[in-house]
Structure 1
Amino acid sequence: MSTEVLVDGIYFTFPNADAVHIFDDSAQYNDVKGWGIKGCDIVLLKNDELWLIEVKDYTYPGASQPQDLVATLASKISGTLGMLHIWSRSENDGDAYEFARRCAKAKRIHAALHVEPKDGGRKEKQVQAVLMPLQGKINMVGKSMKLQGALVSSTFAPNDNAAWTSRRDPTKRAAHQDRSSPL
Protein backbone atom coordinates (compact mmCIF):
# COMPACT_ATOMS: atom_id res chain seq x y z
CA MET A 1 0.00 0.00 0.00
CA SER A 2 1.30 3.47 -0.81
CA THR A 3 0.31 6.91 0.37
CA GLU A 4 0.34 9.98 -1.84
CA VAL A 5 0.33 13.58 -0.61
CA LEU A 6 0.54 16.94 -2.37
CA VAL A 7 2.89 19.52 -0.86
CA ASP A 8 3.88 22.78 -2.55
CA GLY A 9 2.80 21.56 -5.99
CA ILE A 10 4.66 18.26 -5.76
CA TYR A 11 3.06 14.84 -5.39
CA PHE A 12 4.99 12.56 -3.05
CA THR A 13 4.32 8.82 -3.12
CA PHE A 14 5.41 6.79 -0.11
CA PRO A 15 5.37 3.04 -0.75
CA ASN A 16 4.70 0.91 2.32
CA ALA A 17 4.50 3.90 4.66
CA ASP A 18 3.15 3.28 8.14
CA ALA A 19 2.00 6.90 8.42
CA VAL A 20 2.50 10.20 6.63
CA HIS A 21 1.69 13.47 8.36
CA ILE A 22 1.62 16.95 6.82
CA PHE A 23 3.04 18.76 9.83
CA ASP A 24 1.91 22.26 8.81
CA ASP A 25 -1.70 21.07 8.54
CA SER A 26 -2.02 19.92 12.14
CA ALA A 27 -4.06 22.04 14.51
CA GLN A 28 -1.43 21.41 17.19
CA TYR A 29 1.27 22.98 15.01
CA ASN A 30 -0.93 25.95 14.20
CA ASP A 31 -1.27 26.54 17.95
CA VAL A 32 2.50 27.08 18.32
CA LYS A 33 3.80 28.42 15.01
CA GLY A 34 3.06 32.00 16.03
CA TRP A 35 5.78 31.61 18.65
CA GLY A 36 8.49 31.19 16.02
CA ILE A 37 8.53 27.39 16.11
CA LYS A 38 9.16 25.96 12.67
CA GLY A 39 8.35 22.49 11.40
CA CYS A 40 9.24 20.30 8.44
CA ASP A 41 6.59 19.89 5.76
CA ILE A 42 6.24 16.11 5.88
CA VAL A 43 6.79 13.62 8.67
CA LEU A 44 7.03 10.02 7.49
CA LEU A 45 6.98 6.95 9.69
CA LYS A 46 8.10 3.80 7.92
CA ASN A 47 8.91 0.69 9.91
CA ASP A 48 11.21 1.92 12.68
CA GLU A 49 12.41 4.98 10.74
CA LEU A 50 11.26 8.56 11.10
CA TRP A 51 11.79 10.90 8.13
CA LEU A 52 11.55 14.69 8.46
CA ILE A 53 11.16 16.14 4.97
CA GLU A 54 11.33 19.82 4.06
CA VAL A 55 10.08 20.79 0.59
CA LYS A 56 11.38 23.82 -1.31
CA ASP A 57 10.45 24.84 -4.84
CA TYR A 58 12.50 27.65 -6.38
CA THR A 59 11.03 27.31 -9.87
CA TYR A 60 8.41 30.01 -9.46
CA PRO A 61 9.08 33.50 -10.86
CA GLY A 62 11.10 35.55 -8.40
CA ALA A 63 11.89 32.59 -6.14
CA SER A 64 15.50 32.10 -5.10
CA GLN A 65 17.31 29.96 -2.61
CA PRO A 66 18.05 31.87 0.59
CA GLN A 67 21.58 32.03 1.94
CA ASP A 68 20.42 30.49 5.23
CA LEU A 69 18.63 27.46 3.74
CA VAL A 70 20.64 24.95 5.76
CA ALA A 71 20.11 26.89 9.01
CA THR A 72 16.39 27.03 8.21
CA LEU A 73 16.33 23.28 7.70
CA ALA A 74 18.16 22.70 11.01
CA SER A 75 15.63 24.92 12.78
CA LYS A 76 12.72 23.05 11.20
CA ILE A 77 14.20 19.66 12.13
CA SER A 78 14.68 20.68 15.77
CA GLY A 79 11.23 22.30 15.92
CA THR A 80 9.55 19.21 14.49
CA LEU A 81 11.40 16.85 16.81
CA GLY A 82 10.68 19.07 19.80
CA MET A 83 6.97 19.27 19.10
CA LEU A 84 6.70 15.53 18.40
CA HIS A 85 8.46 14.87 21.70
CA ILE A 86 6.07 17.12 23.62
CA TRP A 87 2.98 15.73 21.88
CA SER A 88 4.10 12.15 22.50
CA ARG A 89 4.01 12.85 26.23
CA SER A 90 0.75 14.76 26.22
CA GLU A 91 -2.30 13.32 27.91
CA ASN A 92 -4.42 14.67 25.06
CA ASP A 93 -6.10 12.27 22.67
CA GLY A 94 -6.29 12.64 18.93
CA ASP A 95 -4.56 11.62 15.75
CA ALA A 96 -1.61 14.01 16.11
CA TYR A 97 -0.83 12.84 19.63
CA GLU A 98 -1.11 9.16 18.68
CA PHE A 99 1.10 9.79 15.64
CA ALA A 100 3.69 11.50 17.88
CA ARG A 101 3.65 8.52 20.26
CA ARG A 102 4.34 6.22 17.33
CA CYS A 103 7.17 8.51 16.15
CA ALA A 104 8.76 8.39 19.61
CA LYS A 105 9.34 4.66 19.08
CA ALA A 106 11.40 5.18 15.90
CA LYS A 107 14.91 3.78 16.13
CA ARG A 108 16.38 5.90 13.31
CA ILE A 109 15.75 9.51 12.34
CA HIS A 110 16.52 10.91 8.89
CA ALA A 111 16.31 14.46 7.57
CA ALA A 112 15.64 15.31 3.96
CA LEU A 113 15.48 18.38 1.80
CA HIS A 114 13.42 17.93 -1.35
CA VAL A 115 14.30 20.87 -3.53
CA GLU A 116 13.26 21.95 -6.99
CA PRO A 117 16.02 24.26 -8.22
CA LYS A 118 15.81 26.46 -11.28
CA ASP A 119 17.67 24.37 -13.80
CA GLY A 120 17.24 26.28 -17.04
CA GLY A 121 16.45 23.10 -18.95
CA ARG A 122 19.66 21.38 -17.84
CA LYS A 123 19.88 17.63 -17.81
CA GLU A 124 19.93 15.42 -14.71
CA LYS A 125 23.73 15.49 -14.24
CA GLN A 126 23.71 19.28 -14.21
CA VAL A 127 20.86 19.38 -11.69
CA GLN A 128 22.77 16.94 -9.49
CA ALA A 129 25.74 19.34 -9.61
CA VAL A 130 23.44 22.03 -8.19
CA LEU A 131 22.27 19.66 -5.45
CA MET A 132 25.70 18.28 -4.44
CA PRO A 133 26.80 21.28 -2.35
CA LEU A 134 23.46 21.16 -0.53
CA GLN A 135 23.95 17.45 0.18
CA GLY A 136 27.29 18.16 1.84
CA LYS A 137 25.77 20.85 4.04
CA ILE A 138 22.72 18.73 4.91
CA ASN A 139 25.07 15.87 5.86
CA MET A 140 26.81 18.21 8.32
CA VAL A 141 23.45 19.14 9.86
CA GLY A 142 22.52 15.46 10.17
CA LYS A 143 25.83 14.54 11.77
CA SER A 144 25.77 17.43 14.23
CA MET A 145 22.21 16.52 15.26
CA LYS A 146 23.19 12.82 15.55
CA LEU A 147 20.65 11.73 12.93
CA GLN A 148 21.09 8.45 11.09
CA GLY A 149 20.94 10.08 7.70
CA ALA A 150 20.34 13.24 5.73
CA LEU A 151 19.69 13.54 2.04
CA VAL A 152 18.73 15.90 -0.74
CA SER A 153 16.28 14.87 -3.43
CA SER A 154 14.62 16.50 -6.40
CA THR A 155 11.92 15.43 -8.81
CA PHE A 156 14.28 15.81 -11.75
CA ALA A 157 17.24 14.17 -9.97
CA PRO A 158 15.79 11.66 -7.49
CA ASN A 159 17.87 10.21 -4.68
CA ASP A 160 17.86 6.39 -4.61
CA ASN A 161 18.03 6.47 -0.79
CA ALA A 162 14.79 8.43 -0.46
CA ALA A 163 11.77 6.59 0.92
CA TRP A 164 9.52 8.20 -1.71
CA THR A 165 9.10 9.14 -5.32
CA SER A 166 7.90 12.52 -6.50
CA ARG A 167 6.31 14.20 -9.48
CA ARG A 168 5.25 17.75 -10.01
CA ASP A 169 1.59 18.67 -10.28
CA PRO A 170 1.00 19.16 -14.01
CA THR A 171 -1.79 21.67 -13.33
CA LYS A 172 0.81 24.01 -11.76
CA ARG A 173 3.30 23.65 -14.59
CA ALA A 174 2.49 26.98 -16.24
CA ALA A 175 3.41 28.82 -13.05
CA HIS A 176 7.02 27.49 -13.14
CA GLN A 177 9.90 29.05 -15.04
CA ASP A 178 12.60 26.46 -14.80
CA ARG A 179 12.54 23.92 -17.61
CA SER A 180 11.78 23.76 -21.25
CA SER A 181 11.46 19.97 -21.32
CA PRO A 182 8.27 18.22 -20.19
CA LEU A 183 8.22 16.48 -16.84
Structure 2
Amino acid sequence: MISSLVQNQYAMVRIIVFLLWSLLLCETSFGKINHTFEPIDASFYTSNPNVIDSKLSVYRISRGKYGLNGFIDIKQDLSNDYMLELYVLRSVSGNDRYIPTAIRMPPKNLEYYMNKVYKRIIMTTFSKCAPNSPQFQTEFKAPLTKRRFDLNKCLTDTTNFPYVRSGFYKVGMRFIKPYNITWEITAKTVTTDHF
Protein backbone atom coordinates (compact mmCIF):
# COMPACT_ATOMS: atom_id res chain seq x y z
CA MET A 1 0.00 0.00 0.00
CA ILE A 2 2.80 2.41 0.89
CA SER A 3 4.69 1.58 -2.31
CA SER A 4 1.61 2.35 -4.46
CA LEU A 5 1.20 5.66 -2.59
CA VAL A 6 4.87 6.49 -3.25
CA GLN A 7 4.45 5.54 -6.93
CA ASN A 8 1.39 7.82 -7.21
CA GLN A 9 3.27 10.69 -5.61
CA TYR A 10 6.25 10.06 -7.89
CA ALA A 11 3.92 10.10 -10.92
CA MET A 12 2.39 13.39 -9.75
CA VAL A 13 5.83 14.94 -9.30
CA ARG A 14 6.78 13.87 -12.83
CA ILE A 15 3.59 15.42 -14.22
CA ILE A 16 4.21 18.67 -12.34
CA VAL A 17 7.82 18.82 -13.59
CA PHE A 18 6.61 18.18 -17.14
CA LEU A 19 4.04 20.97 -16.87
CA LEU A 20 6.61 23.39 -15.45
CA TRP A 21 9.05 22.63 -18.27
CA SER A 22 6.24 23.09 -20.79
CA LEU A 23 5.36 26.47 -19.29
CA LEU A 24 9.01 27.50 -19.33
CA LEU A 25 9.35 26.48 -22.98
CA CYS A 26 6.20 28.42 -23.92
CA GLU A 27 7.35 31.46 -21.96
CA THR A 28 10.82 31.54 -23.52
CA SER A 29 9.58 30.89 -27.05
CA PHE A 30 6.59 33.23 -26.94
CA GLY A 31 7.00 36.01 -29.45
CA LYS A 32 9.78 34.22 -31.30
CA ILE A 33 7.53 33.13 -34.14
CA ASN A 34 7.78 35.44 -37.10
CA HIS A 35 4.95 35.75 -39.62
CA THR A 36 4.90 37.57 -42.90
CA PHE A 37 1.39 38.49 -43.98
CA GLU A 38 1.22 39.55 -47.62
CA PRO A 39 -2.27 40.61 -48.75
CA ILE A 40 -3.29 39.35 -52.17
CA ASP A 41 -6.90 40.47 -52.36
CA ALA A 42 -9.40 42.46 -50.30
CA SER A 43 -13.16 42.61 -50.59
CA PHE A 44 -16.07 44.31 -48.86
CA TYR A 45 -19.81 43.74 -48.89
CA THR A 46 -22.59 45.62 -47.11
CA SER A 47 -26.34 45.21 -47.05
CA ASN A 48 -26.65 48.85 -45.91
CA PRO A 49 -24.06 51.40 -47.16
CA ASN A 50 -25.80 54.05 -45.03
CA VAL A 51 -24.32 52.41 -41.90
CA ILE A 52 -20.81 51.41 -43.03
CA ASP A 53 -19.09 51.87 -46.35
CA SER A 54 -15.60 50.74 -47.25
CA LYS A 55 -13.22 50.11 -50.08
CA LEU A 56 -9.97 48.22 -49.68
CA SER A 57 -7.33 47.37 -52.23
CA VAL A 58 -3.93 45.72 -52.18
CA TYR A 59 -1.08 48.13 -52.82
CA ARG A 60 2.51 47.31 -53.77
CA ILE A 61 4.73 49.30 -51.43
CA SER A 62 8.06 47.97 -52.68
CA ARG A 63 9.47 44.79 -54.13
CA GLY A 64 7.91 41.92 -52.23
CA LYS A 65 6.03 44.24 -49.82
CA TYR A 66 2.31 44.69 -50.10
CA GLY A 67 -0.13 46.56 -47.91
CA LEU A 68 -3.71 47.78 -47.87
CA ASN A 69 -5.06 51.09 -49.11
CA GLY A 70 -8.62 52.33 -48.91
CA PHE A 71 -11.09 53.62 -46.37
CA ILE A 72 -13.63 52.56 -43.77
CA ASP A 73 -16.49 54.99 -43.27
CA ILE A 74 -18.65 54.38 -40.19
CA LYS A 75 -21.61 56.64 -40.96
CA GLN A 76 -23.45 56.31 -37.64
CA ASP A 77 -22.59 55.40 -34.06
CA LEU A 78 -22.51 51.63 -33.58
CA SER A 79 -24.06 50.35 -30.36
CA ASN A 80 -23.25 47.14 -28.51
CA ASP A 81 -26.25 45.53 -30.24
CA TYR A 82 -24.06 44.92 -33.29
CA MET A 83 -22.92 41.30 -33.46
CA LEU A 84 -19.68 40.29 -35.20
CA GLU A 85 -17.94 37.07 -36.05
CA LEU A 86 -14.43 36.34 -37.27
CA TYR A 87 -13.33 33.37 -39.36
CA VAL A 88 -10.08 32.17 -40.89
CA LEU A 89 -9.94 29.80 -43.87
CA ARG A 90 -6.76 28.14 -45.15
CA SER A 91 -5.51 26.78 -48.47
CA VAL A 92 -2.17 25.10 -49.06
CA SER A 93 -1.58 26.51 -52.55
CA GLY A 94 -4.07 29.36 -52.84
CA ASN A 95 -5.67 27.86 -55.93
CA ASP A 96 -7.75 25.15 -54.33
CA ARG A 97 -10.64 25.42 -51.96
CA TYR A 98 -10.22 27.10 -48.62
CA ILE A 99 -11.12 25.08 -45.54
CA PRO A 100 -12.04 26.41 -42.08
CA THR A 101 -9.31 26.55 -39.44
CA ALA A 102 -9.65 26.37 -35.68
CA ILE A 103 -9.17 30.14 -35.52
CA ARG A 104 -12.57 31.74 -35.33
CA MET A 105 -14.68 33.90 -33.09
CA PRO A 106 -18.33 32.94 -32.82
CA PRO A 107 -20.83 35.80 -32.94
CA LYS A 108 -20.14 38.27 -30.11
CA ASN A 109 -21.15 41.84 -29.39
CA LEU A 110 -19.18 44.88 -30.51
CA GLU A 111 -17.45 45.51 -27.16
CA TYR A 112 -16.18 41.92 -27.00
CA TYR A 113 -14.78 42.15 -30.52
CA MET A 114 -13.13 45.53 -29.96
CA ASN A 115 -11.48 44.43 -26.69
CA LYS A 116 -10.45 40.87 -27.62
CA VAL A 117 -9.71 40.99 -31.36
CA TYR A 118 -9.34 44.56 -32.58
CA LYS A 119 -7.20 45.78 -29.66
CA ARG A 120 -4.93 42.72 -29.67
CA ILE A 121 -4.42 42.19 -33.40
CA ILE A 122 -5.62 45.10 -35.55
CA MET A 123 -5.20 48.29 -33.52
CA THR A 124 -1.38 48.30 -33.71
CA THR A 125 -1.47 48.08 -37.50
CA PHE A 126 -4.08 50.83 -37.82
CA SER A 127 -2.23 53.12 -35.41
CA LYS A 128 0.63 53.33 -37.92
CA CYS A 129 -1.32 53.84 -41.13
CA ALA A 130 -4.92 54.84 -40.46
CA PRO A 131 -5.38 58.22 -38.77
CA ASN A 132 -8.70 58.57 -36.97
CA SER A 133 -9.03 54.80 -36.49
CA PRO A 134 -10.31 53.71 -33.06
CA GLN A 135 -7.45 53.79 -30.52
CA PHE A 136 -7.88 53.11 -26.80
CA GLN A 137 -5.60 52.13 -23.92
CA THR A 138 -8.04 50.59 -21.46
CA GLU A 139 -11.33 48.84 -22.13
CA PHE A 140 -13.46 49.85 -25.10
CA LYS A 141 -17.05 50.81 -24.30
CA ALA A 142 -19.74 51.19 -26.96
CA PRO A 143 -20.71 53.12 -28.96
CA LEU A 144 -18.13 53.11 -31.71
CA THR A 145 -18.57 56.69 -32.85
CA LYS A 146 -19.09 57.59 -36.46
CA ARG A 147 -15.85 58.33 -38.27
CA ARG A 148 -14.04 57.81 -41.52
CA PHE A 149 -10.48 56.60 -41.58
CA ASP A 150 -8.24 56.13 -44.56
CA LEU A 151 -5.80 53.25 -44.78
CA ASN A 152 -2.54 54.38 -46.32
CA LYS A 153 -0.05 51.61 -47.20
CA CYS A 154 -1.00 49.51 -44.16
CA LEU A 155 1.56 46.81 -43.46
CA THR A 156 0.18 44.17 -41.11
CA ASP A 157 1.85 44.03 -37.70
CA THR A 158 1.96 40.29 -36.91
CA THR A 159 3.41 40.60 -33.39
CA ASN A 160 0.26 39.34 -31.68
CA PHE A 161 -0.89 36.91 -34.35
CA PRO A 162 -1.71 33.39 -33.23
CA TYR A 163 0.52 30.66 -34.61
CA VAL A 164 -0.45 29.70 -38.17
CA ARG A 165 1.28 27.46 -40.65
CA SER A 166 2.58 28.86 -43.90
CA GLY A 167 -0.04 28.97 -46.61
CA PHE A 168 -2.83 31.06 -48.06
CA TYR A 169 -5.54 32.41 -45.79
CA LYS A 170 -8.86 34.18 -46.07
CA VAL A 171 -9.53 36.23 -42.97
CA GLY A 172 -13.08 37.47 -42.67
CA MET A 173 -14.77 39.82 -40.25
CA ARG A 174 -18.53 39.93 -40.54
CA PHE A 175 -21.26 41.96 -38.87
CA ILE A 176 -24.23 39.61 -38.74
CA LYS A 177 -26.70 41.74 -36.82
CA PRO A 178 -28.51 44.01 -37.53
CA TYR A 179 -26.96 44.25 -41.03
CA ASN A 180 -24.76 41.96 -43.09
CA ILE A 181 -21.38 43.69 -43.51
CA THR A 182 -18.28 41.69 -44.43
CA TRP A 183 -14.59 42.39 -44.97
CA GLU A 184 -12.48 39.55 -46.35
CA ILE A 185 -8.73 39.65 -46.93
CA THR A 186 -6.85 36.92 -48.78
CA ALA A 187 -3.17 36.73 -47.87
CA LYS A 188 -0.09 34.62 -48.21
CA THR A 189 1.50 33.86 -44.87
CA VAL A 190 5.00 32.54 -44.27
CA THR A 191 5.84 31.42 -40.75
CA THR A 192 9.38 31.15 -39.44
CA ASP A 193 9.93 29.46 -36.08
CA HIS A 194 12.84 30.62 -33.92
CA PHE A 195 13.01 27.96 -31.22
TM-score (norm 2): 0.26
What is the TM-score with the length of structure 1 in the denominator? 0.27
Normalized per residue, the structure richer in strand is: 2
Q: Which has the higher contact order (CA 8 A, sep 6+)?
A: 2
> Between Structure 1 and Structure 2, whose CA radius of gyration is higher?
2
